[in-house]
């Protein structure tokens, strides 16, 4: 990557076992130069995937890392070699949960201490995200770094939608429904306005971000008014390895009679449940779709996932008082026409009618012209949203 421009912005999007990253030239509009992902960090078989803006794609490198600190150090050293002719002048980090911190803000020692103090509220993400921040602050001590929160988009939800019906003494400690995937939803709403216009973007919209982590949001007048995830990203829709909503009595039963510790229960609901638990074979939707003709448990997992999506769409349509637009996104939402078709087959009462050719070809509008409710398939881009928020926070004059 020689002869690159000097001033660039790096985005770091840390997951529980992965790190997505992207490098942007700071100009108008932001110009992506490099992107990729480190996967399987805790598996002992981690890989780096990356794509250069010059069209060279799908590089895969096996990397010897077993935790996020090692992964961040390895990524830093690799980026230094790949980008030796450029200068990183800002870094944006995706943070899943910030509690009282919601709007993007510059990372300071005080901020980092506050983030560590609340890490128990999201043990699946925050400790790893904190590790990433610490490595990149150490390696880039003079570079402004900004935290961008997944919860920010949902701060507009009315109080009734944030309420958790437990004693007030616990609610006063910060236990409420926060909602997540906010960076994705913010980007998708912005992109939908660009495609369909401001009037339609102010309508009654449901966005289904369906991936290994899955959620939905009900949007009205450009604001989140309800979302499926609540206090943690484990709630709401059933996901690849997460339960989604679960009767709390199950926790009591398993801890009382199966002797699961709180840590074991937390691991089960986040890593051993969902599609993986129903199928007994895999958490990957594409694999489930391939084997469902020969495996009834795979069929059950696919059908259950689609059934849950139909229920949430129905509920959010009631909350919105109608539905003007349905948008699919995320890994499953963007790449699984069969899943979209199964979900929409259960939504005929909303006047939804898919164009199966457009659906199979993953076009932007996948509904027919006669469909009372238009259905879109849109690619999300959390990294670009992070980059835009960093520019806004640091007062860079960048317009998209």
In a domain, 163, yes or no: no
39-53, 98-112, 164-178: least confidently modelled range: 39-53
Q: Indicate whether 267 and 338 sit together in one domain.
A: yes
- The pLDDT of residue 4 is above 60: no
- The pLDDT of residue 207 is above 50: yes
pLDDT (tens digit per residue) in 180-189: 999 999 999 9
Per-residue pLDDT at 9: 96
The CATH number of residue 34's host domain is 3.30.420.40
Per-residue pLDDT at 1: 47
Active-site annotation holds for 150: yes
pLDDT (tens digit per residue) in 9-55: 999 998 877 899 999 999 889 999 999 999 888 777 888 888 887 65
In a domain, 136, yes or no: yes
In a domain, 22, yes or no: yes
Q: What distances in angstroms separate CA 100 from CA 149, 375, 388, one per listed residue?
A: 11, 35, 22
Q: Indicate whether 142 and 257 sit together in one domain.
A: no
pLDDT (tens digit per residue) in 74-90: 999 988 887 776 889 99
Total domain count, the chain: 2
Q: Indicate whether 272 and 353 sit together in one domain.
A: yes
Task: Reduce the DSSP state of residue 331 to 3 states and report it.
Answer: helix
Residues 359 and 340: beta-carbon distance below 8 Å:
yes
Give CA–CA dist 344/114, Å, rounded: 43
Q: Indicate whether 118 and 261 sit together in one domain.
A: no
Q: Indicate whether 15 and 140 sit together in one domain.
A: yes
Confidence class for position 6, pLDDT limits 50, 70, 90: low
Q: Indicate whether 102 and 202 sit together in one domain.
A: no
Peptide bond between residue 29 and the one before it cis (omega within 30 degrees of 0): yes
Domain boundary at 110, 130, 149, which? 149
Q: Indicate whether 247 and 355 sit together in one domain.
A: yes
196-210, 212-226, 230-244, 385-399: least confidently modelled range: 385-399
- The whole-chain average pLDDT of the chain stands at 93
Query: What is the span of the domain harbouring residue 228?
Result: 197-377
The residue assigned the tokens 């009205």 is 220
Q: Which one is catalytic: 122, 150, 226, 324?
A: 150
In a domain, 382, yes or no: no
């Amino acid at each position: 990557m020689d002869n690159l421009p000097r001033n660039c912005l790096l985005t770091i999007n840390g997951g529980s076992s992965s790190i997505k990253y992207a490098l942007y030239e700071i100009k108008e509009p932001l110009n992506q130069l490099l992107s990729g992902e480190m996967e399987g960090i805790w598996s002992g078989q981690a890989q780096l995937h990356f794509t250069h803006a010059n069209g060279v794609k799908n590089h895969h490198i096996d990397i010897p890392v077993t935790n996020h600190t090692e992964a961040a150090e390895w990524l830093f050293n690799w980026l230094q070699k790949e980008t030796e002719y450029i200068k990183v002048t800002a870094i944006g980090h995706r943070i899943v949960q910030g509690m009282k911190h919601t709007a993007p803000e510059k990372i300071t020692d005080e901020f980092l201490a506050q983030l560590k103090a609340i890490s128990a509220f999201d043990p699946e993400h925050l400790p790893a995200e904190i590790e990433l921040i610490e490595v990149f602050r150490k390696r880039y001590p003079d570079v402004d770094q900004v935290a961008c929160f997944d919860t920010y988009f949902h701060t507009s939800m009315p109080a009734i939608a944030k309420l958790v019906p437990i004693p007030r003494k616990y609610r006063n400690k910060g236990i409420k429904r926060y909602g997540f995937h906010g960076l994705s939803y913010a980007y998708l709403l912005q992109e939908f306005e660009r495609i369909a216009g401001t009037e339609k973007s102010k309508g009654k919209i449901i966005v289904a971000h369906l991936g290994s982590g899955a959620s939905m949001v009900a949007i009205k007048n450009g604001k989140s008014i309800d979302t499926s995830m609540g206090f943690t990203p484990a709630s709401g829709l059933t996901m690849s390895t997460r339960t989604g909503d679960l009767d709390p009595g199950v926790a009591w039963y398993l801890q009382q009679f199966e002797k699961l510790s709180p840590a074991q229960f937390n691991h089960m609901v986040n890593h051993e449940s969902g599609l993986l638990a129903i199928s007994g074979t895999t958490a990957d939707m594409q694999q489930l779709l391939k084997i469902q003709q020969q495996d009834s448990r795979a069929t059950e997992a696919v059908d259950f996932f689609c059934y849950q999506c139909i229920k949430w769409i129905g509920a959010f349509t009631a909350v919105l008082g109608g539905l003007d637009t349905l948008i699919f996104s995320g890994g499953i939402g963007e790449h699984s026409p069969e899943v979209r078709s199964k979900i929409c087959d259960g939504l005929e009462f909303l006047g939804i009618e898919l164009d199966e050719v457009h659906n199979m070809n993953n076009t932007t509008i996948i509904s027919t012209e006669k469909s009372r409710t238009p259905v879109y398939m849109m690619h999300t881009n959390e990294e670009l949203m992070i980059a835009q928020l960093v520019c806004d926070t640091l007062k860079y004059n960048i317009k998209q």
